[in-house]
Structure 1
Amino acid sequence: MCVYIYTHCGFITSLEFSTSSIFLLLVLLWIAMDHAADAQRTDLMTITRFVLNEQSKYSESRGDFTILLSHIVLGCKFVCSAVNKAGLAKLIGLAGETNVQGEEQKKLDVLSNEVFIKALVSSGRTCILVSEEDEEPTYVEPSRRGRYSVVFDPLDGSSNIDCGVSIGTIFGIYQLNDSHEPNLEDVLQPGKNMVAAGYCLYGSSCTLVLSTGTGVNGFTLDPSLGEFILTHPDLKIPKKGKIYSVNEGNAKNWDGPTAKYVEKCKFPTDGSSPKSLRYVGSMVADVHRTLLYGGIFLYPGDKKSPNGKLRVLYEVFPMAFLIEEAGGQAFTGKIRALDLVPKKIHERSPIFLGSYDDVEEIKALYAAAENGGRNE
């Protein structure tokens, strides 16, 4: 093959190259370009770097919280890997047991719970753990005890495991007074006392959304690096959205305000366009979409389940914490969600959360029903 090259003097010279030589030159050029791209990628904001930057803002920080988060991140990576190969590894299907909620446990549920229990205990920074899968709290032995309590749902949306729909992990963190032995009262606190909350979504990409009380940030796992990279800095939920998310299969059991609100979403009387219905059935997936696009997520209490279905400590509180930090609202039908004081670790509550204006509408309907002395 003949290649013509301009010399520095402006003359054209020709060189003879074999096809294999040309191929080698192209490979070397590609490698050089790839190394240049990799060099640019070294300045990425990883979740570890992000948390360390946040830690540096507090001179009194001992690094305990940073270590705890790193163990949570490790657990999320492990579960993400297990989810991705669940079918091949025969991790889908039932494990043959039921959890404290009376729900049949999936194999991945059991694995995910064990992963997070071990990751949190081995951090040496926790003293009491509450999991959806365990009937009683896990108390960490004194030699490995720290000053944080973690409440978590290791695998939310597990009924969707076998069909490949997005599932996730939800967690909330409390900082406790380490002057006494940990007890149940340490976790039966209102959600507003949490110091951090987050979720990890296992979908088309693995996304971890985190708030430490100073806004919300989203990180996406780069499989080639094995690192979560900051991809959604300072997330803010739109003030009003065009989507509502609810299980309409329960419509015949709804109370008046919920039924009226959904009717208004579908048949607005102010000339606006109807809202679109989007419902996955995995809280992590539905709340993640609501956070990014705006709108409202509803899981009300009804005639069949007066107290709602979602658990306060490890589903309602963390999600309400994140939504409020992003500029939205979370409401139970009676009060602000984060003001609830749970009496049991697996207590349930109705929940309405999402864009500020959309939640204001449902709050107004409940206020009107209360003032009228009845559910309209």
Structure 2
Amino acid sequence: MPYRRTTFSKFIIDDQRRRGGGDTNLTALLNDVQTACKYIGTAVARGTLHPVANPLCGEPDAPPSGSPTPPSTNVHGEVQKPLDLIANEIMLRTCEYGGQLCGMASEEMDEPYAIPAEYPRGRYLLLFDPLDGSSNLEVNLTVGTIFSILRAPEGVEEPTVADFLQPGTQQVAAGFSLYGPADMLVASFGAGVHGFTMDREIGAYTLTHPDMRIPEAACEFAINASNERFWEPPVRRYVEECTRGRTGPRGQDFNMRWNACFVTEAYRILTRGGVFLYPRDVRPSHKPGRLRLLYEANPIGMLVEQAGGVASTGRERILDVQPTDLHQKVPVILGSKAEVERIVAYHAAHDRGEDAAFHAPLFGTRSIFLDTGTTPHA
């Protein structure tokens, strides 16, 4: 029966009880985050009917206070769409007043956001990408929100940038929302990954995907193939082997996907397996990678690992990367364990100068994995 379904709010309470006690501040913060996602989902669903309507007030808004007037660019040089700014404002306003946070940081803001003086301070830090994949809005494709929760250092009430620079292993919780045919919220609190679907009849995210696990078998990979000429040899090697299909060294056919929205790619990995690659390449501006460590790679990396997968830069576990900058970018390769470990092994062999030759005419070398059932060791 519908009234017996487990809502997101109930699941948080039950999960904390199972683990030995509740943290009311974390519960309240997660509830604020889900409320923000509901507001953002409402704004996205309006599409071009009300392109800059803010659901917090129900009418078109001026740009958020302190934010640049569109058209503008964020710290990454990306054009900010009106809904980018609206989503950012929604997250700030929904989460700032509850007393659980002492600071927030957003992909859309150059510096951390200070909690207004009239609100109490809490022990947590919230980092978020308010509207991931916003370029998809123009063609009515899925977009989402990504969030990461950290504990503030002891005694800190007015956090500086340095207080946010914690490795992904320090995350208390992480997750993302999807605004698509069905709105969803996928989250981990450190013990598994669980998916919740919006039940519009009651206005609540309800548990539909408990204990999500990334399938071991993989026959899909996701990469922007238009950048092939810039890839490093290990990535070229992997993609070449996949595209050769049954006649190649892998002995099976692969499908290639690319949605240009990280949360959509992550959700597909969680439900269908495979691997997602946004690697570094030879262009100077892309060598550090393209995805943001604190707002994207760390939270999605946590979910992938909690679901039994692997998240790597190609040379290092993502969650072990020590951040040095609030908007630091990293390469991202994540998904089914065996596939990511294969790619990591290719990077290691390349860095040691031990690349074996492909049979492919472009590369003239062959794979170090001749047996399609071989699992590499990173």
The TM-score with structure 2 as length reference comes to: 0.86
SS in 2 for 1:56: helix
1:103 to 51, 62, 78: 78
Q: Which moved more, 1:187-196 or 1:120-129?
A: 120-129
Contact 1:240–1:358 (8 Å) recurs in 2: no
Q: In the TM superposition, what is the alpha-carbon distance from 1:162 to its structure 2 partner? A: 1.4
Q: In the TM superposition, what is the alpha-carbon distance from 1:347 to its structure 2 partner? A: 0.5
Instruction: Show structure 2 runs of 5+ residues with no match.
Output: 54-68, 357-362, 364-378
Shift in alpha-carbon separation, 1:108–1:271, aligned structure 2, 3 A: closer
Deviations 1:98-150 (A, max 9, x none): 11111111111000000001111122211111100000011224542110001
What residue number does 1:299 align with? 278
Highest CA radius of gyration, 1 or 2?
Answer: 1
Structural mapping, 1:37-116, within 5 Å:
40-58=1-19, 61-91=22-52, 95-116=70-91
- Please provide the CA RMSD for this pair: 1.7
Structural mapping, 1:132-211, within 5 Å:
132-141=107-116, 143-181=119-157, 182-211=159-188
SS in 1 for 2:202: coil
- Structure in which a larger fraction of residues adopt helix: 1
Deviations 1:155-202 (A, max 9, x none): 000111111010000011001234234222221011011011000010
Q: In the TM superposition, what is the alpha-carbon distance from 1:299 to its structure 2 partner? A: 0.2
What residue number does 1:316 align with? 297
Contact 1:55–1:63 (8 Å) recurs in 2: no
Matched-pair identity in %: 38
Contact 2:133–2:260 (8 Å) recurs in 1: yes
1:267 to 240, 244, 254: 244
Distance 2:290 2:77 in 1: 12
Q: In the TM superposition, what is the alpha-carbon distance from 1:58 to its structure 2 partner? A: 5.0
Q: In the TM superposition, what is the alpha-carbon distance from 1:62 to its structure 2 partner? A: 4.0
Give the counterpart letter for 2:329 in structure 1: R
Deviations 1:281-316 (A, max 9, x none): 001111111111000000000122111110100100
Q: Is 2:219 aligned against 1:238? A: no
Shift in alpha-carbon separation, 1:58–1:365, aligned structure 2, 3 A: closer
Distance 1:98 1:247 in 2: 23
What residue number does 1:125 align with? 100
Q: Is 2:232 aligned against 1:251? A: no
Distance 1:70 1:288 in 2: 21
Instruction: Show structure 1 runs of 5+ residues with no match.
Output: 1-39
Q: In the TM superposition, what is the alpha-carbon distance from 1:240 to its structure 2 partner? A: 2.9
2:259 to 274, 280, 289: 280
1:355 to 330, 336, 357: 336
Distance 2:180 2:98 in 1: 27
Contact 1:298–1:352 (8 Å) recurs in 2: yes
Contact 1:316–1:337 (8 Å) recurs in 2: yes
Distance 1:75 1:167 in 2: 15
Distance 1:259 1:128 in 2: 41
The TM-score with structure 1 as length reference comes to: 0.86
SS in 1 for 2:126: strand
Contact 2:51–2:83 (8 Å) recurs in 1: no
